Chains A and B, each alone.
Chain A
């Protein structure tokens, strides 16, 4: 029977459209346990490819014939081998081109909303890693916030929209993924902003992003205003865009809050995190739509694939915003933290400009989930 080769964008559509899919993941049990392609209506079977070298008879009864079957491995080779075995046994199957590596790298741009005077705000959803980047567009100009390292996706999107990237921001020094911000700024001539408190060790030039920094995008007055909101890192900064959207970086997520330990100072920063979430954010309009820099679970996605919810709703629903006792809050965000993201110390060094690994090494460093939150 036939074998199809699917790319990550085809799989992303199935995630966003809540379609059914049966995934045969032939990676190691540990790798599958750690990180997989999440879909609300996806079913899974994990059996390592090396346990199927003598034949796939044992798993045939578990392979459905009434729904689409996708074989997935780390890079591609093993999934193709198993797909061929399934095809020989009479199944129609697909395999994922580039494997989990390509899944980790794929970005889906989705429009979040319209801005004053014809502007638009786009969210770039990196489904495989849970990273969210943003582009604010208005009258021929654009600002990019928390760009991941696949810079050509942002520059070509800007070209397509016929806008010039003028400002590039990182809400903080990222520890879970490699930022593309500095490189986008270099290639477009845009200004690159970074919070100075996170940038003490960086070895490149940047423009300090401080509380109250405001830029205007295009000729209409779409303001991107910075709000100092420490806690995940000491420099973490949020943005209010067009008085409608609150870009929270890694401070506040839809179903969780930022962890304070990835730069090594959980005890010191827990107070800052508390102040940001329980004081500074509470003074803002509850109508603001929260747009975080990450999601952790597929349930945080809206029907249209975006990750966004009104601040007022999060004050009611997000557990991390509803721990009244300060001591308990301290315990929640410093005890029992999840494992740290893969290679997070090296990733911080890359983002400081101290090391510049080859693209293949960067891919290896970014394998796995982002793990920036504490629930």
Chain B
């Protein structure tokens, strides 16, 4: 699925990746997808937990060369 918006949160440390992810999601409409790239390891647990609490869907998650990528669909 193609993302509507891309967010580069690489190099940011907790809590900024989630703060920025949340702000970006707020600008999307239901069903649209955000692509987030982070390097903070804490995001591995925190972004899925945040998405679950908010009801958003993690469509895709990968980790390569220290960069973690999420595709999150707004619900």
Binding site for B on A (CB under 8 A): 28-31, 48-51, 53, 73-75, 77-78, 81, 364
Contacts and interface: CB of A to CB of B under 8 A. Distances in A.
Interface string B7-49: 0000001111011001000000000000000000110011001
Contacts of B16: 77
A262 B13 CA distance: 34
Interface string B46-58: 1001100100000
Nearest to B51: A50
Given A28-B46, A50-B50, A364 B41 contact: yes
Contacts of B42: 74-75
Contact of B45 (A28, A75, A77, A81): A28
Contacts of A29: 49
Interface of B: 13-16, 18-19, 22, 41-42, 45-46, 49-50, 53
B72 to A, nearest CB: 13
A97 to B, nearest CB: 15
Contacts of A77: 13-16
A340 B2 CA distance: 41
B49 A48 contact: yes
Given A49-B18, A81-B19, 12 more contacts: A28-B49, A31-B45, A48-B49, A48-B53, A50-B18, A50-B22, A50-B46, A50-B50, A50-B53, A53-B19, A77-B13, A78-B14
Interface of A is mostly: helix
Contact of A53 (B13, B14, B18, B41): B18
Contacts of B19: 53, 81
A53 B46 CA distance: 13
A77 B22 CA distance: 17
Nearest to A99: B14
B14 A48 contact: no
B44 to A, nearest CB: 10
Nearest to A73: B14
A53 B22 contact: yes
Nearest to B16: A77
Contacts of B14: 73-75, 77-78
A48 B14 CA distance: 12
A28 B48 CA distance: 11
Nearest to B22: A53
Of A28, A49, A53, most B-chain CB atoms within 10 Å: A53
Of B15, B19, B42, most A-chain CB atoms within 10 Å: B15
B23 to A, nearest CB: 9
Nearest to B12: A77
A6 B22 CA distance: 29
Closest 3 pairs (CB-CB, A-B):
A50-B50, A78-B15, A50-B18
Nearest to A82: B15
A219 B62 CA distance: 61
25 contacts: A28-B49, A30-B45, A30-B49, A48-B46, A48-B49, A49-B15, A49-B18, A50-B15, A50-B18, A50-B22, A50-B46, A50-B49, A50-B50, A50-B53, A53-B18, A53-B19, A53-B22, A73-B14, A74-B14, A75-B13, A75-B14, A75-B42, A78-B14, A81-B15, A364-B41
